């Protein structure tokens, strides 16, 4: 199954440009590539499933507290991980822009000077 836009002429042109111009340049200068990776975890530590003897109810305790989410984002480069950042909560546009300005931009400028 293919996405409906895969058959459009402008998408086909963009793919040709990608293959003929951008991919060869990326192969020549892999140290310029930066991939951003983001993952999140919840601080809820409650089990969703459990086992009990037949006919008995499974009982477990759950921690009480303020449950929330933590997000980890970092830049992956050919020489390792850079600009790691952990935030309390889920990623949104404002937080992503803050990350780019305060963490990623600084890391890339520092790398460029080396």
| DSSP for 87-107, written as a single string | EES---HHHHHHHIIIIIHHH
Whole-prediction pTM value? 0.64
Quickly state the pLDDT bin for 56 (edges 50, 70, 90): very high
Section 82-110 average pLDDT: 92
At residue 111, does pLDDT exceed 80? no
pLDDT given at position 67: 77
Residue 114 predicted with pLDDT over 60: no
Q: How far is CA 78 from the centre of its chain?
A: 17
């Amino acid at each position: 199954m293919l996405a409906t836009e895969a058959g459009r002429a402008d998408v086909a042109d963009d793919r040709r440009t990608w293959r003929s111009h951008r991919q060869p340049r990326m192969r020549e200068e892999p140290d310029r590539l930066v991939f951003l990776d983001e993952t999140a975890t919840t601080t809820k530590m409650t089990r969703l499933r459990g086992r009990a003897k037949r006919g008995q109810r499974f009982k477990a305790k759950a921690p009480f507290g303020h449950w929330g989410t933590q997000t980890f984002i970092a830049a992956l480069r050919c020489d390792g991980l850079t600009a790691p950042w952990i935030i309390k909560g889920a990623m949104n546009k404002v937080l992503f822009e803050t990350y780019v300005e305060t963490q990623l931009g600084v890391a890339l400028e520092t790398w460029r000077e080396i």
